[in-house]
Amino acid sequence: MRRFFVLAFTLLSMLNAANTPAYDPATLYQEVVQKIKDESITSVDEKRLMNRCLDGMVNSVDPNGRYLNEEEYETLYLSSKAVAGVGLFLAEKHNHIFVKSVVDHSPAQKANLQKDDEIVQIDGILVRDLNFEEVVAALRGSPNTKVKLGILKPNSFKSIEVQVMRKVVTIDYITSLMFEGDIAYVKVSSFAQNALLEMLDDIQYLYNLQHNKLDGMILDLRDNPGGYFISGIALTSLFLEKDKPIINVKSRHKEEKKQYINTPQDYDGMEYVEKIEALSFLKTIPLVILVNNDSSGSSEIVASVLQEYNRAIIIGTPTFGKDTFATLFPLSTTSSAVKFATARWSTPKGKSVWPNGVTPNIEVMQESEEDDKPLSEALRVLKKK
């Protein structure tokens, strides 16, 4: 009898399945959109709804992934016109947009914007209704145009309105100086495409200035969100012996596995071979790397690999923990694009920085802008060597 009921239930399920209309994603999408348009308590822009839908789709496979609509893609990647900004590096935390750092001599600095300020409005539009790329695109525009920002200062409950003039901002991604004891300090704010050349030129300048005498180096990667991963590999290579493995990269396609080693062919450095060889002392120079929770991507390549080889002492707080590379895919149907993670990397020993980041050898937290404890510790460590 029990077997009869099981068989009857199975046949009934099959009959119901046969009578169920075939699943059509396009029809389902249109039905949901129509319901929202008809019944939502607020009016709806269908194009904006579509953009959010596509962005959510990409975001579901990569939390840092994005769909870039026509305006965003044009502004961020395609525009041949002069594009101006206000001079801010931003960070997104729990759907809030904060100032990570301010470019020196920029409109943002003149407007007294500071690290940890929250941007809550742009030209009257609530930032909570925008994704990260929309915020960046909204801040950019034609030179000498104004943008109104609603700013919430730390520990404040009321926002203030700030008007900023957009300008073409020149950003020095790499800055350097000397400390007492022949210690070089190099700050890398982002791994731009030409980071290797900038790094080589800056260090060569300091080396010449010191009459070919550098006894230690501090590489500051704090608040560095990453950038071109090849630039991260290139900078790492300066401090390692030739042919040492740097990182392993793999995607979901087995044939796309690759190991990057310390050879100029692997990091687009062939045209800089003479400059690299002229600074061969970097392979043995005492080295300290400063990091914090906003050090991500290529910053973590440099820190984790040089730590694994015992080539550098890492000082600061644990890094962000991002072990993926993103690829931008232009779409053929519209002038838009999607950007999402397509590969993961690991250190030569197979270690990943996800999810805990790079753990410093010496953990020191910077409690204020005025008292840079991690930098002081780095100087103390190098002067002992």
- Pairing between β-strand 118-122 and β-strand 146-152 as defined by DSSP bridges: antiparallel
The CATH number given to whatever domain includes residue 112 is 2.30.42.10
Judged by DSSP in three states, 119 sits in: strand
Q: Is the domain of 148 the same as that of 193?
A: no
Q: Which two tokens stand for residue 6?
A: 């099981």
* Residue 121 falls inside a structural domain: yes
Q: Per the structure, how many domains does the chain have? A: 2
The CATH number given to whatever domain includes residue 305 is 3.90.226.10
* Residue 58 falls inside a structural domain: no
Give the domain-ending residue among 102, 136, 168. Answer: 168
* Residue 26 falls inside a structural domain: no
Residue 290, Cβ neighbours under 10 Å: how many? 27
* Residue 51 falls inside a structural domain: no
Residues 6+ positions from 288 with CB-CB distance below 8 Å: 216, 217, 218, 219, 312, 313, 314, 315, 378, 381, 382
Residue 4 confidence (pLDDT)? 41
Q: Is the domain of 122 the same as that of 235?
A: no
Q: Is the domain of 200 the same as that of 289?
A: yes
Q: Which domain holds residue 131?
A: 76-168
Q: Is the domain of 203 the same as that of 253?
A: yes
Give the domain-ending residue among 140, 168, 196. Answer: 168
**What's the residue count for the chain?**
385
* Residue 284 falls inside a structural domain: yes
Q: Is the domain of 130 the same as that of 249?
A: no
> Which pTM does this prediction carry?
0.85
Tell me the backbone φ, ψ of residue 167, rounded to 5 degrees.
-140, 160
Give the domain-ending residue among 168, 198, 218. Answer: 168
- Report the alpha-carbon distance of residue 298 to residue 126 in Å, rounded: 32
Q: Supply the DSSP symbol for 335.
A: S
DSSP states of 25-82 as a string? HHHHHHHHHHHHHHH-SS---HHHHHHHHHHHHHHHH-TT-EEE-HHHHIIIII--S-
Q: Is the domain of 161 the same as that of 179?
A: no
Q: Along the 385 residues of the chain, how does pLDDT read in single tens digits?
A: 444 444 444 444 555 555 556 668 889 888 988 999 899 998 888 888 888 899 999 999 998 899 998 888 887 776 656 668 999 989 888 889 999 889 888 999 999 999 999 999 999 999 998 888 889 989 999 899 999 999 999 999 999 999 999 999 888 899 999 999 999 999 999 999 999 999 999 999 999 999 999 999 999 999 999 999 999 999 999 999 999 999 999 998 877 789 999 999 999 999 999 999 999 999 999 999 999 999 999 999 999 999 999 999 999 999 999 999 999 999 998 889 999 999 999 999 999 999 999 999 999 998 877 889 999 999 999 998 7
Q: Which two tokens stand for residue 383?
A: 């002067």
Q: Is the domain of 341 the same as that of 365?
A: yes
